[in-house]
Amino acid sequence: MFSVMTALKAPEQFTTTVPLSLPDPVTAGNFTTLFTDTYDFVVPIAVTAQMVLVLVAGQLVSSVLAAYAFGTLRFPGREVIFWTYLATLMIPAVVTMIPLYSMLTAAGLRNTFAGLVVPFLLGSPYAIFLLRENFRSTPAELLDAATIDGAGVLRRLWYVMLPMNRPILATLLLITVVTQWNSFIWPSIIAPAPEWNVITVATASLQSQYAGNWTLVMAATTIALAPLVVLFLVFQRQITRSIGIGLR
């Protein structure tokens, strides 16, 4: 609410009134300014949207396949591989930044779209663990019945597992979108060029050490928050259902 109120104020009013005062008059000038040639905020929005779409698709597909294999299929070393992979959650993300940057820069991926998405394209340990535990709670009788009907491994996943776990998939989708949409550190390191700025980096660049365009910053923040609010409202029922399933 504070960001919306500030975004609708003129810069002069923001500097001369208390922060929580209502906009008077209400102006959309900060939003229109962001889309002028000076700031060209269309580019960060487009880059962020493309990055999120690619990462969400890659992470969900790979996480579902890996969790299904770890949760229902039997193969040598399954538990060792799973718990070893899960142990990587204990490695702070900051530790991997320099090696990742060095490798991708050496590969010529600095200031490229590939540099933004390649390190995070596959499933995360958290997502695989979350899905695996839900897949394992699926009654074995349903999978056995599908097998008797002639369903193979992938058909059991598509027609049994995924429909029965829609709430947790919706929750994971929301978590992944929010995480990637708000990503800041990695994009600011690997793609500092203006043409590859994501929305968080572009918003931060509206400020400087000695001057902060706070009405513009709040307008950019409002634009960045709007898709996440809409996404939460769309998936609110599924998220509530997933919480209920977890409590049971």
- Top pLDDT among 174 and 139 is at 174
Q: What pLDDT score does 48 carry?
A: 94
Average pLDDT over residues 37-47: 88
Helix (H) or strand (E) run with residue 71 in it: helix 42-72
Q: What pLDDT score does 209 carry?
A: 43
Give the angle subtended at the CA of 166 by the CAs of 73 and 184, to the nearest 5°: 95
Q: What pLDDT score does 28 carry?
A: 83
Q: What pLDDT score does 81 carry?
A: 92
> Is the per-residue pLDDT at 216 higher than 60?
yes
Question: pTM score, two decimals?
Answer: 0.85
pLDDT tens digit sequence for 87-131: 988 888 888 888 999 999 999 999 999 999 999 998 888 899 989
Q: What pLDDT score does 80 carry?
A: 93
CA 215 to chain centre: 26
- Top pLDDT among 168 and 53 is at 53
Domain count, the chain: 1
Q: Which domain holds residue 89?
A: 2-247
For CA atoms 40, 42, 47, 51, the dihedral sign is positive
Q: Taking the CA of residue 184 as centre, how many other CA atoms within 13 Å lie in the half-sphere pointing to its CB?
A: 8
Q: What pLDDT score does 112 carry?
A: 92
User: pLDDT averaged over the chain?
Assistant: 85
pLDDT tens digit sequence for 218-240: 888 899 888 888 888 887 776 67
CATH code at position 59: 1.10.3720.10
pLDDT tens digit sequence for 4-18: 888 888 877 777 777
Token pair belonging to 216: 């513009």
Least confident of 47-51, 116-120, 207-211: 207-211
Q: What pLDDT score does 247 carry?
A: 43
> Is the per-residue pLDDT at 78 higher than 60?
yes
Helix ranges, 73-197 (H)? 78-86, 93-106, 113-117, 125-136, 140-148, 153-156, 162-164, 166-181, 185-190
| Residue whose entry in the numeric block shows the structure tokens 């799973």 | 82
Residue 66: C-alpha distances to residues 86, 129, 137, 223 (Å): 12, 9, 16, 35
> Is the per-residue pLDDT at 210 higher than 90?
no
Q: What pLDDT score does 245 carry?
A: 52
